[in-house]
Amino acid sequence: MTLTISGLKVSIGEAEILRGVDLTVSAGHVHGLAGESGSGKTVTGLAVLGLLPHGSRTAGTIELAGRDLLAMPAKQLNAVRGAEIAMVFQDPATSLHPMVTVGVQLTEHMRHHLGVGRKEARERALGLLAKVRIPSPETAVDRYPHQFSGGMRQRIAIAVALACEPKVLIADEPTTALDVTVQAGILRLLRGLCDDLGLAVLLVTHDLGVMSAVADEVSVMKDGLVVETGPRGQVLTEPRHAYTRALLESLPGDDHKLPQEER
């Protein structure tokens, strides 16, 4: 399933946050969205899920399988959100409910959206935990988020997002709060899920290294506009827009050689 955003404008209060964003995320592809803080990356992701703050005004279209999500009545959108589109947030310490077991967080929306029974939901939860490579799912399912490390929590958050077998996954800085070693594992997991399940992934990140590792296409945002879009290799090695060049040049270092040789 392809997610197509065209001419998306978002204003919150007096501020015009997005000024006409065009973006396409295809099934089985990771589309990376880069840019500085405040450029509108996160708002783009939130707009897709209809999670913009109250009083925001929108224009343009966000199409998923021929339906415009922006024009959809709330009730219909509720059926799409969580079931067909899911989101992974930056900080797994705050995106998971601290007082509810992992099992309940994994099955609640599954039972709501898919109408599966308690027993089947638990079975599916175990399968999901195994899929995101949580050791011993049978015990993990009855534990609370604080009993896991940051990396494990983010894996659980990804499992929660995948519970209803969504077609589109929006990941907003999913590895920013993690150590590099843990980040490597999460990036491998995201890439694998995208390939195996044919997910369309919109990956919001300010880290061009992360972008280079997992994204197929890259879009660069500045001041609420997409200034450059293209295949990963082209945008990161032969950027056309001056701003993309500036972003790349702001990275430390001349000899990024070592880790390459290590692999």
In the complex, the residues that contact another protein under the rule CB under 8 A are 36-37, 149-152, 176, 179-185, 187-188, 191, 206-216, 232-237, 248, 250-253, 255-256, 258-260, 262-263
CB of 27 to another protein, least distance (A): 18
In the complex with another protein, which residue's Cβ is closer, 136 or 260?
260
CB of 259 to another protein, least distance (A): 5
In the complex with another protein, which residue's Cβ is closer, 34 or 121?
34
In the complex with another protein, which residue's Cβ is closer, 169 or 194?
194
Q: Which of 189, 187, 160 is nearest to 176 (CA)?
A: 187
CA distance 216 to 213: 9
Cβ atoms of 98 and 146 within 8 Å: the answer is yes
User: 245-251, long-range: CB within 8 Å, 24+ apart, which pairs?
Assistant: 247/34, 247/35, 247/36, 247/208, 247/220, 248/208, 251/208, 251/209
In the complex with another protein, which residue's Cβ is closer, 161 or 204?
204
CB of 119 to another protein, least distance (A): 31
In the complex with another protein, which residue's Cβ is closer, 168 or 208?
208
CB of 67 to another protein, least distance (A): 32
3-class DSSP assignment, residue 173: coil
3-class DSSP assignment, residue 109: helix
CB of 184 to another protein, least distance (A): 4
Task: Give Cα 25 to chain centroid, integer Å.
Answer: 12
In the complex with another protein, which residue's Cβ is closer, 30 or 161?
30
Cβ atoms of 170 and 33 within 8 Å: the answer is no
In the complex with another protein, which residue's Cβ is closer, 62 or 134?
134
Task: Give Cα 18 to chain centroid, integer Å.
Answer: 19
Neighbour tally for 14: CB within 10 Å: 5
CB of 231 to another protein, least distance (A): 9
Contacts of 24 (CB under 8 A, 6+ apart): 2, 3, 4, 5, 31
HEC-encoded secondary structure of 75-96: HHHHHHECCCEEEECCCHHHHC
CB of 253 to another protein, least distance (A): 7
